[in-house]
Amino acid sequence: LSPDCSFTCHYRCRALVRLDCSGPPGTSDEDDGNELEKDTNVDEPSEWEKTELDQTQVEQRIKEYNSQINSNLFMSLNKDGSYTGFIKVQLKLVRPVSVPATKRGPALQAGRPHTQGVKRRTSFYLPKGTVKHLHILSHTRAREVIDALLRKFTVVDNPRKFALFERSEKDEQVYLRKLGDEEQPLRLRLLAGPSEKVLSFVLKENETGEVNWDAFTLPELHNFLRILQREEEEHVRRLRHRYARCRQKMQEAL
């Protein structure tokens, strides 16, 4: 590990954890600094959401879409007028997620059915750059996509902690817009075409809305405070590194 690494892990979990450290401090993903939330007002639809298509136009768009992709992730038109297809979602989470963990009890060790196991939760960070393809219907809503993703990774956190974002690149700048619960990602995918630069989907933490802190236990609240402190220290470290680089550049220019 790098001497600058502040990673800590429970001794029982070390064999299950793999680190992917890339470069010295300050060499984190530069794209993060260039991403702007262009619009988080979910009440205002995007340019794709405003487009209305009749049945003939939908069929034509599907043919055009399938002719442009280089994989077998095609869209298919159903007899009832709906259509199915694949969307790719990048999971870009900065906080750990919780998954169920079961501790084996004496009943299992004695050969009896596992009915007396103690259910617990364990938390971990999803690997950076994790992506998932989902096969969904045209009327599948953004909230249902989030639920499906959490089930795929057996995440037991409240789905309201997460939000699905529409990501686009324009004029060498990355923009993010949070999707409303009722928006239909596959419809947006069809209207935008298969290009990931024009449109892609990202799952992130939902930073909006009030949190009911009274619903958490004291150990959970203390853990949150420790996580916030580490995030604050990391943010300060990155800012200091950025200003140090600017100072160095100016000194070189002088």
The structural domain count of the chain equals 2
- Highest mean pLDDT: which range of 100-109, 142-151, 156-165: 142-151
Q: Give CA–CA dist 230/225, Å, rounded.
A: 9
If asked whether residues 124 and 139 sit together in one domain, one would say yes
- Antiparallel, parallel or unpaired: β 35-39 and 173-178: parallel
For residue 37, give the 3-state DSSP assignment: strand
Q: Are 90 and 131 in contact (CB under 8 A)?
A: yes
Q: Is the dihedral of CA 193, 194, 197, 203 positive or negative?
A: positive
Q: Are 161 and 146 in contact (CB under 8 A)?
A: no
Give me the pLDDT at residue 124, please.
77
Residue 86 in any domain: the answer is yes
Does 18 or 90 have the greater pLDDT score? 90
If asked whether residues 201 and 222 sit together in one domain, one would say no
Q: Are 202 and 165 in contact (CB under 8 A)?
A: yes
Which residue, 142, 141, 159, is CA-closest to 150? 159
If asked whether residues 245 and 127 sit together in one domain, one would say no
The amino acid occupying position 55 is Q
Q: Are 105 and 117 in contact (CB under 8 A)?
A: yes
193-229, pLDDT tens digit by residue?
Answer: 999 999 999 999 887 555 667 767 787 788 888 888 8
If asked whether residues 196 and 242 sit together in one domain, one would say no
Phi, psi of 137 (to 5 degrees): -95, 165
If asked whether residues 242 and 140 sit together in one domain, one would say no
- The least confident of 29-43, 101-115, 116-130, 205-219 is 101-115
- The DSSP string of 150-172 is HHHTT--S-GGGEEEEEEEEETT
- Using pLDDT thresholds of 50, 70 and 90, give the confidence band for residue 74: very high
The partner residues of 134 in beta bridges, in order of sequence, read 87
Give the residue-averaged pLDDT of 75-91.
93
Residue 105 in any domain: the answer is no
Residue 26 in any domain: the answer is no
If asked whether residues 153 and 186 sit together in one domain, one would say yes
If asked whether residues 160 and 72 sit together in one domain, one would say yes
Give the residue-averaged pLDDT of 75-104.
86
Residue 156 in any domain: the answer is yes
- The DSSP string of 180-227 is PTT--HHHHHHHH-S-TTT-EEEEEE---S---GGGS-HHHHHHHHHH
If asked whether residues 134 and 240 sit together in one domain, one would say no
Give me the pLDDT at residue 48, please.
61
* pTM of structure: 0.62
Enter the DSSP assignment of 94.
S
Work out the mean pLDDT of the chain and round it to a whole number.
78
Give the residue-averaged pLDDT of 137-157.
93
Beta strands, E only, the chain: 35-39, 76-77, 83-91, 97-103, 118-124, 130-137, 162-170, 173-178, 200-205
If asked whether residues 64 and 160 sit together in one domain, one would say yes
Residue 109 in any domain: the answer is no
State percent of the chain over pLDDT 70: 70
Count Cα neighbours of 196 within 13 Å in the Cβ-side half-sphere: 10
If asked whether residues 166 and 55 sit together in one domain, one would say yes
Q: Which domain holds residue 242?
A: 214-253
Q: Residue 46 maps to which CATH number?
A: 3.10.20.90
In this predicted structure, the answer to whether residue 110 has a pLDDT above a threshold of 50 is: no
In this predicted structure, the answer to whether residue 114 has a pLDDT above a threshold of 60 is: no
Residue 126 in any domain: the answer is yes
If asked whether residues 170 and 201 sit together in one domain, one would say yes
Give me the pLDDT at residue 91, please.
93
Give the residue-averaged pLDDT of 18-22.
55
198: region left, alpha or beta (phi > 0 left; psi from -120 to 50 alpha): alpha
148-187, pLDDT tens digit by residue?
Answer: 999 999 888 888 889 999 999 888 788 888 999 999 999 9
If asked whether residues 92 and 151 sit together in one domain, one would say yes
Give me the pLDDT at residue 151, please.
93
